[in-house]
Structure 1
Amino acid sequence: MSKGNFAVIGLGRFGSSVARTLINLGHDVLGIDKDEKKVEELSNILTHVIVADSKKEEVLQKIGIRNFDTVIVAIGHDLEANILTTVLLSQFGIKNIIAKASSDIHGDVLLRVGATKVVFPERDMGEKIGKGICSGNFLDFIDISPEYSVVEVIAPKRFLNKSLGSLNLRPKYEISVLAIKKRDRILVAPGANDIVEDGDLLVVIGENNKLSTCFEI
Structure 2
Amino acid sequence: MPHKSHIFGVVGLGNFGSTVATELMRFGNSVIAVDVNERAVGLHADKVTEALIVDARDEEALREAGFGECYGAVIAIANDIESSILAAMNLKLIGVKTIWAKAVSKTHHRILSRIGVDRVIHPQVDIGQYVAQVLNNPLIRDYVSLGNGYHVVNFRVPDSLEGHSLSEIKSISRHDLRCIGVMRGTEFVGSGADGCVLQSDDLLLLLGERKKLSDFAASL
Same fold (TM over 0.5): yes
1:49 corresponds in structure 2 to: 51
1:119 corresponds in structure 2 to: 121
Q: Tell me by how many angstroms 1:99 deviates.
A: 0.9
1:80-91 equivalences under 5 Å are 80-91=82-93
1:107 corresponds in structure 2 to: 109
What secondary structure is seen at the aligned counterpart in 2 of 1:71?
A: strand
1:130 corresponds in structure 2 to: 132
Residue from 64, 83, 107 that aligns with 2:66 = 64
- Whether the 8 Å contact between 1:6 and 1:69 is mirrored in structure 2 is yes
2:190 corresponds in structure 1 to: none
- Whether the 8 Å contact between 1:66 and 1:94 is mirrored in structure 2 is yes
Q: Tell me by how many angstroms 1:72 deviates.
A: 0.7
What secondary structure is seen at the aligned counterpart in 2 of 1:8?
A: strand
Q: Which amino acid aligns with 1:37?
A: R
Gaps of 5+ in 2: 140-220
Pair member with larger Rg: 2
1:5-62 alpha-carbon deviations (Å, 9 max, x no partner): 0010011111011111111111111110011111111111111100111101221122
Query: TM-score of the superposition, structure 1-length normalised?
Result: 0.59
1:128-186 alpha-carbon deviations (Å, 9 max, x no partner): 1222332349xxxxxxxxxxxxxxxxxxxxxxxxxxxxxxxxxxxxxxxxxxxxxxxxx
Structure 2 CA distance for aligned equivalents of residues 82 and 7 of structure 1: 14
1:97-151 alpha-carbon deviations (Å, 9 max, x no partner): 11111223221210111212211111101111222332349xxxxxxxxxxxxxx
1:88-99 equivalences under 5 Å are 88-99=90-101
Residue from 35, 38, 52 that aligns with 2:37 = 35
Query: TM-score of the superposition, structure 2-length normalised?
Result: 0.58
Runs of 4+ deviating beyond 4 Å: none
Q: Which amino acid aligns with 2:35?
A: D
- Whether the 8 Å contact between 1:73 and 1:85 is mirrored in structure 2 is yes
2:157 corresponds in structure 1 to: none
Q: Which amino acid aligns with 2:23?
A: T
Structure 1 CA distance for aligned equivalents of residues 89 and 14 of structure 2: 21
